[in-house]
A and B are shown apart, each in its own frame.
Chain A
Amino acid sequence: MLATLTACSPIVRDARFVGARDQVADVTLEGPFDGQIVDATTAEPIQGATVVAVWSYDQGDGLLGPAGSESVEVKTDQAGRYRIPRAPMKVRGTAVRLVAFELVAYKRGYVAYRSDAVMQGGARTDFTLRQNKIQLEKWREADSHADHLLFLAAPPVIQQLTKWERDQANLDLYRAQGGEGAGSGPARGGDEETPTEDTPKMELLDARGLLPPDEVRRRTGYADAFDVKDLGDLARTHFYHGVHLQAVERDETFDIAYRVWKEPPGGLDSVQETFEATLPGVEATTEITDQTWVYDSEDVRAVAFLDPETSVGLLLTCGVQQCVDIETAIILAKFAADHLDLITMETASETTATPIESAIGGVPR
């Protein structure tokens, strides 16, 4: 009997999180879990936040597939604390695996929390089994309900609590995708989103100083004007800025564009993956930094590099009329690499960026 029960017990995959900060603790997907939720700005405990713990199972030998979840829902106490018991482990059968644990925390007026990811993109790396500290950021005017719901992929209980965001999320995504019928101004819902003096302003990366038009002209010999714009396909964030030097009254083979990531939440690995996906078949070289990719095609020349010292990744693309050879593109990229200290931050109110897509990930989505 015992042998049968044991045989039917799920295989438990290793956890991706640690036991606790600054101390040795056993770690397992099964739990138990505990922690505290505080306001990221005031450090005050947040009482009454909904915390949902979800254990997810797979099943199958070879052809694997989901086998359901178990979940536990609790509310934080006056001190903002939560306790989640061990996994019920009632999902049994042959070839069942406990493959994931996610903790989702939600309180209206704040950006929600997931133990496996951050809303700005990439994997979360600070979740701990015990004494987990969750700092909820207050909702900001510039935050997107669409990004929020996409990030949340909410379990049902949280879906119930976030229903009110759906209409606004539709409009946010519609605007972000360039929809024309919703007007240009923000249309916010929910009292807690009304910006106040305390509402933190969104900081955005500013990479326009990295490669000024004059420096480009000096190196390419181009005599005419550029319009300096934001690249519209990805949202500008505090870690990403795409700059488009659009040649005035010329076709795009005279354009230059560069994308800059600085200290992205997912780290430079995620930027590297984007480079490798964007520049297929290109091997890394040491042309500019130890991780430099050079790509030359009939239509466009591209140079990308990662600079671990400053935690910056840059992808420069240059039309073949502007960069007559790949060396010109490399020279421009080198100039940018030598001036990474010119990357600055500015507040959202100072910008006119109009993203077409949002960038949840540490790399563009």
Chain B
Amino acid sequence: MNPSKRSKRARSRSWSRACAFVLAGAALLSTRPASAWDPSTTHAAMTREAVIRSHMHVRWMDGSGLTRGVFTGVRLDPAELDPEVSRALRVAMRRVHEASGGAPLGGPGACPGPSAPASTQARCVEGDVWEMTALGWIQLGVVLETAPRNRLLHHFANGSDPSAATWSDPELPAAVLRGKARRAEGPLARSANRSAFAGGATSAVAWLADRTDPWAPPAALAHLQAAETATDPRERDRELALGLVGLGALLHVVQDQSVPAHARGDLTAFFAPLSPTPGDRGLPLQELVRVLYGRNHVPGALALSPRDASARQRPLAPTLHQHLLGHGDYPGLTRFTQGRFLSESSLPAPMALRDAGLDGTQAAAAILGESHGLDSAEVNGAELTPWPASSGYLRSSSGRGLAAFDTDEEGRTRLFLDRRVYRDQAAHLIPAGIEASASILDLVFPAFPTHTVEFDSGVIDLDLTAGPFAPVLSVMTQAPDGRRTVVQRVKLRAGERNHIVDAFPAPLADDVQLVLRIEGSSAPEHGLPQVATATPHRAAKLEAPSTTAPRTEPADTPTPASAPEAPAEPVPEEAAPVESTRGPSQTELISPYPEAKSDAAPSEKAPAQPPAQTEGETDTQTAPPTDTQTDSKSAE
């Protein structure tokens, strides 16, 4: 580049940043380009890793008698979908990369008929039905968050207050941002999908509770709840598929919080030139990670303590918000990323430092100023090294590179992010994103509480000392054709053992499967709605024991003694109210988002329930076992 030209360009802060972008882009171009936190590679890999590292699969398998796991095929009939939902899925399916694991089999036109050549049946499932593994539906949800592109706008956090409900990028006027957002999707598509952008948008934190978005957590969790209670197996499949797509969307939003530009509300960073071609712009970090790691290889951290390797049981936080904003010792993914890493457009401005007689630490403090937004742990002791020098790195006290620096034509020290800093960011942030994602999966799919079932007498003992809060047990029977019927819904006591007599009409017919489902909340207030399912088997029919314990209990969770053989005294309904709803009304969900029921709400599409089972109309009583019996007597 011509030095005189460069000198002219270096007169404004924004131009300095642009140069940094160009340098970064040039660095990217010098790498072997190709495969991209892009949905098809990095997000796909992070999601896969999160699923594998979470307990989701084991809990699904345990809860289904080993019949359902993350590789189980789940079917969805487009004819049964709300038109808007169907359209969104079709758009996502058109956009997903076929070799990324999120492209389904089947769909409209995939089965041309028996007279058609065999080669045309290669994608046929049945009729117009789509089919994909559970993991595949989650991966599709990750892609759905990019279609239309304006969905990406709720992937940002407020740069100055990560808990704020909105964000905006103050670096550029809103009109410019609107233009950029428009170009990101194309004017026609933008007009069609009405993705007006006023320079700011709903933040990721606020989106977590968005009751208007059919793919936001409230709707997704409602689908997952309905996936257990719906009568018809086909309907359960549909609800599960929709819930998993929503879960994929959630994971995408969460994983984006491990990108500094997202966590700092830095939309400008996404418009760095990636090649000399006009309009070829993107986020340098995203492109570099795609090139470096591809789909099958993302950096991951190892447990340093050998005995901790299999002890990752408890979610990092009890709510979705706290996964982003922190809980206890866990800083929260958004706060961690925002407070520890710089993004392209949130770098401090260039400053003349070399002749100021400062040492490396003083120079670092001077150039960082007050508006860097970094945690004090990163800033205290930070230094420019080597110093004085024309180029080097701004390092935190731990030695980590926060940014690179060089000297512009005016002799000012200028910060930018180079390949080495990006690699360091990726090495820290991708594992953090995977960890948060896996934790959320563990939160959404909790272990079914330790329980015993007496099939001969209809007695169920449940240990709820490890949660959830506000538990409600649904006792269901499943016929050989897969149809489920709710027999009882029972409010339980949280934090203690529950003894339920006459829980189901005993003995059950040999071909009837007992299904237990517990709904609850992950926290006393603002907790995540949770559902866990178990299909206890009679010992003679399956090798698995009828008592299914969580694989490992948290260290501070006491293991309860075995349940008493005889039912304890009944507890009056005032103390332990029992919902004796039966028949069709039983499928009504106890949703923590009751007002969220939208067109996509699952229960509205549920076919009518079969007639109630009269056997279920026995008195249902809950009573604590012997160790809590005193309390129940007091209640009497």
* Contacting pair B184 A153 (CB below 8 A): no
* Contacting pair B309 A156 (CB below 8 A): no
* Contacting pair B304 A278 (CB below 8 A): yes
CB contacts (< 8 Å) of A216 on chain B: these are none
Q: Which residue of A lies closest to B122 (CB)?
A: A157
Q: 1/0 per residue A118-141: CB within 8 Å of B? A: 000111000000000000000000
* Contacting pair B551 A166 (CB below 8 A): no
Select which of A13, A104, A252, A364 is within 8 A of B34 by beta carbon: A13
Q: A residues 262-312 with Cβ under 8 Å of B?
A: 266, 270, 273-274, 276-278, 280-283, 295, 297, 299-300, 302
B536 to chain A, nearest CB (A): 12
Select which of B65, B135, B184, B186 is within 8 A of A93 by beta carbon: B186
A119 to chain B, nearest CB (A): 9
* Contacting pair A71 B400 (CB below 8 A): no
Cα of A117 to Cα of B35 in the assembled complex, Å: 11
CB contacts (< 8 Å) of B65 on chain A: these are 181
* Contacting pair B297 A121 (CB below 8 A): yes
CB contacts (< 8 Å) of B38 on chain A: these are 58, 64
Decide if B387 is an interface residue (CB 8 Å cutoff).
no
Cα of A100 to Cα of B68 in the assembled complex, Å: 33
Given contacts A60-B184, A157-B123, A177-B58, contact A100 B35 (CB under 8 A): yes
Cα of A60 to Cα of B95 in the assembled complex, Å: 12
Decide if B399 is an interface residue (CB 8 Å cutoff).
yes
Interface-facing stretch out of B98-106, B410-418, B571-579: B98-106
Select which of B33, B62, B424, B543 is within 8 A of A14 by beta carbon: B33
Decide if B71 is an interface residue (CB 8 Å cutoff).
yes
Decide if A336 is an interface residue (CB 8 Å cutoff).
no
* Contacting pair A179 B295 (CB below 8 A): no
CB contacts (< 8 Å) of B69 on chain A: these are 169-171, 173-174
Q: A residues 162-186 with Cβ under 8 Å of B?
A: 163, 165-167, 169-171, 173-174, 177-183
CB contacts (< 8 Å) of A302 on chain B: these are 304
* Contacting pair A181 B133 (CB below 8 A): no
CB contacts (< 8 Å) of A58 on chain B: these are 36, 38, 40
CB contacts (< 8 Å) of A87 on chain B: these are none
Q: 1/0 per residue B305-321: CB within 8 Å of A? A: 11111100000000000
* Contacting pair B297 A73 (CB below 8 A): no
Size of the chain A interface, CB-CB below 8 angstroms? 101
Decide if B73 is an interface residue (CB 8 Å cutoff).
yes
Select which of A64, A117, A173, A357 is within 8 A of B282 by beta carbon: A64
* Contacting pair A232 B98 (CB below 8 A): no
CB contacts (< 8 Å) of A163 on chain B: these are 73
* Contacting pair B72 A363 (CB below 8 A): no
Cα of A357 to Cα of B105 in the assembled complex, Å: 28
* Contacting pair B300 A277 (CB below 8 A): yes
* Contacting pair A102 B99 (CB below 8 A): yes
Cα of A29 to Cα of B32 in the assembled complex, Å: 13
CB contacts (< 8 Å) of B99 on chain A: these are 52, 54, 56, 69, 100, 102, 104, 114, 153-155
CB contacts (< 8 Å) of B101 on chain A: these are 153-154
Given contacts A95-B280, A166-B73, contact A63 B296 (CB under 8 A): no
Decide if B483 is an interface residue (CB 8 Å cutoff).
no
CB contacts (< 8 Å) of A63 on chain B: these are 149, 152, 181, 184-185, 270
* Contacting pair A100 B72 (CB below 8 A): no
Q: A residues 33-73 with Cβ under 8 Å of B?
A: 52, 54, 56, 58, 60-69, 71, 73
Cα of A68 to Cα of B186 in the assembled complex, Å: 16
Decide if A331 is an interface residue (CB 8 Å cutoff).
no
Cα of A23 to Cα of B223 in the assembled complex, Å: 56
* Contacting pair A364 B399 (CB below 8 A): no
Q: Which residue of B lies closest to A159 (CB)?
A: B105
Given contacts A61-B183, A62-B271, A121-B296, contact A281 B398 (CB under 8 A): yes
Decide if A160 is an interface residue (CB 8 Å cutoff).
yes
Q: Which residue of A lies closest to B61 (CB)?
A: A174
Decide if A340 is an interface residue (CB 8 Å cutoff).
no
* Contacting pair B304 A317 (CB below 8 A): yes
Decide if A348 is an interface residue (CB 8 Å cutoff).
no
Decide if A337 is an interface residue (CB 8 Å cutoff).
no
CB contacts (< 8 Å) of B296 on chain A: these are 116-117, 121-123, 151, 360-361
* Contacting pair B146 A66 (CB below 8 A): yes
Interface-facing stretch out of B44-52, B80-88, B210-218, B622-630: B44-52
A5 to chain B, nearest CB (A): 16
* Contacting pair B295 A153 (CB below 8 A): yes
Cα of A161 to Cα of B270 in the assembled complex, Å: 40
CB contacts (< 8 Å) of A295 on chain B: these are 304
Decide if B451 is an interface residue (CB 8 Å cutoff).
no
Decide if B419 is an interface residue (CB 8 Å cutoff).
no
Decide if A15 is an interface residue (CB 8 Å cutoff).
yes
CB contacts (< 8 Å) of A93 on chain B: these are 186
CB contacts (< 8 Å) of B400 on chain A: these are 280-281
A94 to chain B, nearest CB (A): 6
Decide if A255 is an interface residue (CB 8 Å cutoff).
yes
A133 to chain B, nearest CB (A): 21
Decide if A210 is an interface residue (CB 8 Å cutoff).
no
* Contacting pair B294 A259 (CB below 8 A): no
B150 to chain A, nearest CB (A): 9
Decide if A146 is an interface residue (CB 8 Å cutoff).
yes
* Contacting pair B294 A117 (CB below 8 A): yes
Given contacts A64-B282, A255-B307, contact A277 B52 (CB under 8 A): no
CB contacts (< 8 Å) of A207 on chain B: these are none
Decide if B634 is an interface residue (CB 8 Å cutoff).
no
Given contacts A157-B123, A277-B427, contact A300 B95 (CB under 8 A): no
Decide if A107 is an interface residue (CB 8 Å cutoff).
no
* Contacting pair B53 A170 (CB below 8 A): no
* Contacting pair A281 B52 (CB below 8 A): no
* Contacting pair A66 B73 (CB below 8 A): no
Decide if B286 is an interface residue (CB 8 Å cutoff).
yes
A57 to chain B, nearest CB (A): 8
Cα of A212 to Cα of B398 in the assembled complex, Å: 33
Q: Which residue of B lies closest to A229 (CB)?
A: B306
* Contacting pair A357 B39 (CB below 8 A): no
Decide if B507 is an interface residue (CB 8 Å cutoff).
no
Decide if A324 is an interface residue (CB 8 Å cutoff).
no
* Contacting pair B122 A54 (CB below 8 A): no
Decide if B66 is an interface residue (CB 8 Å cutoff).
yes
Cα of A174 to Cα of B286 in the assembled complex, Å: 33
CB contacts (< 8 Å) of A14 on chain B: these are 32-34
Q: Which residue of A lies closest to B69 (CB)?
A: A170
* Contacting pair B58 A174 (CB below 8 A): yes
Cα of A116 to Cα of B45 in the assembled complex, Å: 14
* Contacting pair A61 B44 (CB below 8 A): no
Decide if B234 is an interface residue (CB 8 Å cutoff).
no
B40 to chain A, nearest CB (A): 5
Decide if B471 is an interface residue (CB 8 Å cutoff).
no
Q: A residues 305-323 with Cβ under 8 Å of B?
A: 315, 317, 319
* Contacting pair B40 A173 (CB below 8 A): no
CB contacts (< 8 Å) of B310 on chain A: these are 178, 232-233, 356
21 residue pairs A–B, Cβ–Cβ below 8 Å: A60-B282, A62-B267, A65-B152, A69-B97, A93-B186, A95-B186, A146-B71, A153-B44, A160-B105, A169-B69, A173-B52, A180-B544, A181-B544, A233-B303, A255-B307, A273-B299, A273-B423, A274-B299, A280-B400, A356-B310, A364-B302
Given contacts A61-B281, A62-B180, A156-B103, 19 further A-B contacts (CB under 8 A): A14-B34, A61-B183, A62-B184, A62-B270, A66-B39, A68-B96, A95-B186, A116-B35, A116-B294, A123-B294, A166-B73, A170-B61, A257-B306, A259-B302, A274-B299, A277-B301, A277-B428, A283-B399, A364-B302
- Nearest 5 A/B pairs, CB to CB: A65-B146, A153-B101, A233-B309, A170-B69, A281-B398
Residues of A within 8 A of B (CB): 11, 13-16, 29, 52, 54, 56, 58, 60-69, 71, 73, 93-95, 97, 99-100, 102, 104, 114, 116-117, 121-123, 146, 149-151, 153-157, 159-160, 163, 165-167, 169-171, 173-174, 177-183, 231-234, 244, 246, 252, 255, 257, 259, 266, 270, 273-274, 276-278, 280-283, 295, 297, 299-300, 302, 315, 317, 319, 356-358, 360-365
